[in-house]
Amino acid sequence: MFLSVKHRILGPIALLIVIGAATTAWISYEAVRTHNDLQSQEKRAYEFLFSVERAQEAFKSLEAFSGDILSFNDVMSPQTLRARYQLLRGALTDEISHIQDIVESPELARSVERFAADAEIWKHEAEIALGLVDEQAIPTRIRLDHLRQRADDALSEIYRTAKSDAILRSGMKSERYKSRVDTIFYSMLLVFAVFGFFFLMFGRGLTGSLGRVARSMERIRQGNFEPGIEREFSKDEIGEIARGVQAFGETLEALTQANEQVKHLAMHDQLTGLANRRALEAHLERLISEHGEHAGKVAVFHVDLDRFKQVNDMYGHAAGDEILRHASKAMEDNKRRSDLVARIGGDEFVIVLMDTESEADAARIAKRMINAISEPIEIWNDVVNVGASIGIAFLDEAETNIERILANADMALYIAKGAGRGRYSFYSAETRRQFETDMSLLRELRVGLERGEIIAYFQPQVDAASNRLIGFEALARWVHPSRGLLGPGQFLSLAFDNGLGDRLSDIMVREAISALREWRNRGIDVPRVSVNFAAKQLRDSGLTEYLDDALFQAGLSPKDLAIEVLESVLFGDDADPAHATIAQLKRHGYRIELDDFGTGHASISNLRKFRVDGVKLDRVFVTGVDSDAEQEMILRTLIDLCRNLRISCLAEGVETDAERSKLFALGCSHIQGYVAAKPLAREDVVDWVTEQSAQQKRPKAV
């Protein structure tokens, strides 16, 4: 049954009013009725009592008359006596019959009958005594008195009984009225109780429903959008409210979700789902404002993926995205709950680590992160490796500027990357100093490149057996205006890391070509000049054409230029465009040499595949070979490998005659190093060649 709230509230009130009114009316009716009853009963009682009194008077008159006669003080004629007696007796008889007519209670009626009988006996005896009946046995005066007394008593008894009856009956009426009122009252109480109970139930249902609605609203307020509104709210106003609440909840839920989404979008990176820079900054700001509430230090990791650009270039953006997701997941998996990982740029991430106990702790985590990111990824059936470098800075009392902290981490990262890939580095004052030095060096380098301060030095490569010149390796030198001559170790990686590699390579190629041209013009037979190329330059598909053009303009040919590439270039897969460039250079007749052979993990099969013209044994194998048997054995193996593959072999960094002799003994006659000559300025080469020629013409000192 569905009752509207209005009915549920107003209904009981109306019903209670009706019950109250009905009860009042009933009680009033009973009161009036009882009053009327009492009045009429009182009237009848009075009438009866008056009759009895009249009967008493009539009886007394009759008796007095009889008494007068029987005192024998006067002689009354029988006729008069009879007449007067009968008059009085008639009055008495009338009263008695009137009493008999109006008597109500049977008990009283019996009393009246008794009195009538007594009076009759008395009358009979009195009539004898009065001479109205012929009888010789005359009742004594005493007997008459007794009989009169009996009748009198009976009448008095009637009077008393009637009186007490009237009182009793009016009392009974009152009692009945009282009990009726009691009954009504208790009925009313019962009705009130019963209805009240039902109304309470109704009210309870009502308040219960309201309570549920209220709780639902409270839940909504607390963000639980399942209002839990049941079907029972169907028809009444509360049902409407409940449905309203439900709709409200649903709308609010949708809005909240949208809001969450907007917030998420604002604060998160779309691709990886990680926090974005803004979220990071907010997080850091919060940390700074809460500073001191964290037990340990807060570490900020600046993570940069190694080789990401290569993979992106090689496999496209979709693959890059895949790498980013992989890296994100790796970091997310390895962070703690309280830590935050944010993506702040293409392949740059920041991890905020809470409560880092020590640098060692941070280092451990950084290592774990690097390892996780470095896990090989399978992309389109290929296995790709990226690495990561991490710069670490701490958030401490001294440092509360977010920008500076991030910059510090960035500097540390820079240092880490500078130290080689897959490393981490902590920010320190030294870091900053080095970074700033590097940056100022970079600025100077940019200027220097424009001013031609970068020049090539040439280190001769000779055949140890014949002491014949094989060629020169062009090595970059920076003629720094204030610091003097700087070697490549001091600026090369700086240049390559900062996009100056192409420009540097360009300078080196032009220097090498112009130097060779010059030497040839001056009649010096220089077979070739080697120039180093980084993988990035090799990936430029226009490299071959550019070299061809430069050689052609100088009147030279590709065989005059050897391309030195790092062994690691060949380590990559077939998709690397550098491989195509190498193959093209090879086809055009350029000599390809592997630099730093033995350190870059080039596969033997790739040596065959690219038909590399020569390898350069790294100086780590060469230095000290004359005194280390194990090193000697490795070197022997490498040399044997080259010989067997018919690849020419040149040892770098040969500094002593002993080393030269040992290499020679092992079968590697081509050497480069101080034992032969230091790198020479372009203008010194002519003198050196001339001197060498002169020495060769002299008999060999034994």
Partner 1 sequence: MYKFVIGLVLVSGLLVVPAISSQRDLRKDFERQVRISFPEAAPYSPQAAALGKMLFFDPRLSGAQNMSCATCHNPSFGWETPVARAIGVLNQPLDRHAPTVENLAEADALFWDGRASTLEEQAVGPITHPKEMNATLEEVVNRLAEIATYQRLFNIAFPHEGLTRDTVLGALSTYQRTLRSGWAPFDDWVQGDESAISEDAKRGFELFVGEAHCALCHTGWALTDHSFHAVGIPSDDPGRGAIVSDDQGMFKTPGLRNIALRAPYMHDGSLATLRDVLVHYRQGGAENFPRDNSITPLEISERDIDDIMAFLNTLTAYDPHVSAPALPAE
Contacts with partner 1 by CB under 8 A lie at 69-78, 81, 129-131, 134-143, 145
Taking a C-beta distance cutoff of 8 angstroms, is the pair 595, 625 a contact?
no
Nearer to partner 1 by C-beta: 117 or 271? Answer: 117
Smallest gap from Cβ 70 to partner 1, in A, equals 7
Nearer to partner 1 by C-beta: 130 or 365? Answer: 130
Nearer to partner 1 by C-beta: 129 or 377? Answer: 129
Nearer to partner 1 by C-beta: 126 or 354? Answer: 126
Smallest gap from Cβ 90 to partner 1, in A, equals 20
Smallest gap from Cβ 183 to partner 1, in A, equals 51
Smallest gap from Cβ 120 to partner 1, in A, equals 16
Burial of residue 115, with CB atoms counted within 10 A of its CB: 0-12 exposed, 13-18 middle, 19 or more buried: buried
Nearer to partner 1 by C-beta: 74 or 101? Answer: 74
Nearer to partner 1 by C-beta: 136 or 605? Answer: 136
Taking a C-beta distance cutoff of 8 angstroms, is the pair 497, 418 a contact?
yes
Smallest gap from Cβ 161 to partner 1, in A, equals 24
Taking a C-beta distance cutoff of 8 angstroms, is the pair 256, 228 a contact?
no
Shortest CA distance to 509 belongs to which of 480, 537, 469, 478?
537
Nearer to partner 1 by C-beta: 66 or 356? Answer: 66
DSSP codes joined into one string, 76-123: --HHHHHHHHHHHHHHHHHHHHHHHHH--SHHHHHHHHHHHHHHHHHH
The DSSP 8-state label assigned to residue 180 in this structure reads H
Smallest gap from Cβ 76 to partner 1, in A, equals 7
Coil/strand/helix, residue 348: strand
Smallest gap from Cβ 87 to partner 1, in A, equals 17
Coil/strand/helix, residue 259: helix
Nearer to partner 1 by C-beta: 139 or 673? Answer: 139
Cα-based distances in Å from 593 to 134, 532, 562, 600, 699:
190, 9, 7, 13, 33
- Residue for token pair 């970079």: 442
Smallest gap from Cβ 80 to partner 1, in A, equals 9
In whole angstroms, what is the distance from residue 195 CA to residue 22 CA? 15
- Cα angle 526, 653, 615 (rounded to 5 degrees) comes to 65
Smallest gap from Cβ 184 to partner 1, in A, equals 54
Smallest gap from Cβ 134 to partner 1, in A, equals 8
Cα-based distances in Å from 308 to 133, 283, 314, 346, 418:
162, 27, 10, 9, 16
DSSP codes joined into one string, 362-430: HHHHHHHHHHHHTS-EEETTEEE--EEEEEEEEEBTTB--HHHHHHHHHHHHHHHHHT-SS-EEE--HH
Coil/strand/helix, residue 616: strand
Smallest gap from Cβ 139 to partner 1, in A, equals 6
Nearer to partner 1 by C-beta: 146 or 480? Answer: 146
Nearer to partner 1 by C-beta: 1 or 137? Answer: 137
DSSP codes joined into one string, 5-18: HHHHHHHHHHHHHH
Taking a C-beta distance cutoff of 8 angstroms, is the pair 217, 244 a contact?
no
Nearer to partner 1 by C-beta: 140 or 603? Answer: 140
CA dihedral 64, 67, 73, 76 (to 10 degrees): 80
Smallest gap from Cβ 86 to partner 1, in A, equals 15
| Interacting residues of 76 by C-beta distance below 8 A, sequence separation 6+ | 69, 84
In whole angstroms, what is the distance from residue 348 CA to residue 300 CA? 13
Nearer to partner 1 by C-beta: 135 or 175? Answer: 135
End-to-end CA distance of the chain: 126
